[in-house]
Amino acid sequence: MAITSLVFGLPDTDFVVARLLQNPVDMGNSIRPFYGDAAANTYSALIKEHLVIAADLIKAAKAGDSAAAAAAEKRWYANADHIMDFLTQLNPYFPKEQFRKMFYEHLAMTKEEAVTMLNKDYTASIRLYDRIEQEALMMADILWRYLYVC
């Protein structure tokens, strides 16, 4: 919803983004009982940064500012690496490289979805959304297994 609202400048953008930014709080809270306040707060901050950078990337692409889009994309991947490092600190058995590959693919598909919307290729956008959803569910399974079960 956030990508759609940002790309098309919909009147619900502020509300959708506010709801999206509740996800990092929820994600941090989900690990709080297992890893404590400091870890929960760090995780929440990393995920919030991830979402804010994604919004910056979409805004730059929409404005046709390729330099700003490239800079945001570089920050986005650096943030993904910070998330990987953090998850590995929580559990040294966390499959860092497997998850990094999935996360990078997720970032690439998310960017591509926004680009297809900007280019009005809605059929491709829908196909990408389906792939993103499937991969997000697989990533969630890995997080569950290595952060909550092990």
Write the pLDDT tens digit of every residue in 98-133: 999 999 999 999 999 999 999 999 999 999 999 999
- In angstroms, the CA 115 to CA 60 distance is 11
Q: Is 132 exposed, middle or buried (0-12, 13-18, 19+ CB in 10 A)?
A: middle
DSSP code, position 26: H
Q: Residue 150 above 70 pLDDT?
A: no
- Tens of pLDDT along 43-63? 999 999 999 999 999 999 999
pLDDT average, residue stretch 35-41: 98
pLDDT average, residue stretch 30-46: 97
- In angstroms, the CA 113 to CA 122 distance is 9
The set of residues, in sequence order, having a beta carbon less than 8 Å from that of 119 and lying 6+ positions away, is none
Instruction: Report which of residues 150 and 138 the model is more confident about.
Output: 138
- Which stretches of 13-148 are DSSP H helices? 13-20, 22-35, 37-63, 66-90, 96-118, 122-143
Say whether 29 sits in a helix, a strand or coil. helix
Amino acid 149: pLDDT:
82
Query: Model pTM greater than 0.85?
Result: yes
Tokens of 10: 């919909």
